[in-house]
Structure 1
């Protein structure tokens, strides 16, 4: 997917006037990030609204003793950083590419111009931030209340939130290690969880990724009680 295709498919881009889209196209920049490299760095001033054209990323925070927790994954078509830009603040998390990624960078000045001139863009931001808050609340509940298999199921289902990621398709180009990082568990536990979800008929696992067979089943999955 190209930058132009991403802008054309985005919910907010489809609602811009021709003149607004022309300015966005002229001022939006692209950057390629190799797997393992930073997308954004904690403590740095946010200068862009960041979109993912291709690849996969995660936003996480860590502790001095090396522990880390993933806040959210970033799939193709998704944008992040709007709250930090609005506050004119610094990144409060690390953004890392889990695989080679292609980024769209909308300058803060362009972002603020859209906020000042486009009512549909402001409506979109309200829906996006509300969806983001709902995602964080759901993730917190999942981490505290669910076992590893259910956490993997809900993490995969979360990639189908249309307000965060437009139309990802039923095939997810995800590796097991990426699933583990999204769910905040070890790779071994993620592998076991995926095997259980496949046995339950909710997905198929292949060398290329994961085919979702029942999105509703992933959203509602509850592990059977232990004997």
Structure 2
């Protein structure tokens, strides 16, 4: 009860319109974050302006534990893909919970392990340079139960939002989704995309391995 009381007392939430930056690259990592509503992407940009999307984070998911633990500037930006609301837990409260709660420490360890596996897969996927495989990977990884426990098989994303999530142009995203539809993996509807075969979608994401 003491732990819950402190988290509720110390934490706060903020709302962001689609396209707004919630956290800038280089900012102090002073908070552990959660998406209450909407979806955000974690990305960075090269000096030449090329944007690389590391992850999409849907509602019901926590993120940013690694950079809080490392005590260094945030190496990525957090951008709202659609209108979103985020929760902010102060770093001091996060670290206090780690010391006070064995179950919370176990949860954070599992988060870090799942995050590491995700980024290994992401780096490999980016090297495939196939838009359809990249879209398949981004969609399939939204169903990682450790990282994103609340994802539904019907994703309320427009194709434009999927493109932002994957770091692809709208044209390449549309072409990739048509390929996934032709393979019987998804069905795209207005403002949403339904996953028909998650296991096959994951295999397709790694088809160039």
TM-score by length of 2: 0.93
The change in CA–CA distance for 1:143 and 1:135 in structure 2 (over 3 A counts) is same
Aligned to 1:157: 140
* Structure 1 residue 27, shift from structure 2 partner: 2.1
Aligned counterpart, 2:87: 104
Deviations 1:27-51 (A, max 9, x none): 2211101111111111111111110
* Corresponding residue of 2:34: 51
Deviations, residues 124-166 of structure 1 (Å, cap 9, x unaligned): 1111011111111101111113521122112100000011101
Structure 2, unpaired ranges of 5+: none
Secondary structure, aligned partner of 2:127: helix
Matched, 1:216 2:199: yes
Q: Which runs of 5+ in 1 are unaligned?
A: 1-17
RMSD: 1.8
Q: Find the partner of 1:141 among 108, 121, 124.
A: 124
Q: Which of residues 200, 203, 208 is equivalent to 2:183?
A: 200
For residues 42 and 222 of structure 1, do their structure 2 counterparts lie closer, same or farther at Cα, with a shift above 3 Å needed?
A: closer
Higher deviation after alignment, 120-129 or 147-156: 147-156
Is 2:44 the partner of 1:23?
no
- 2:66 aligned to 59, 83, 95, which one? 83
1:179 aligns with 2:165: no
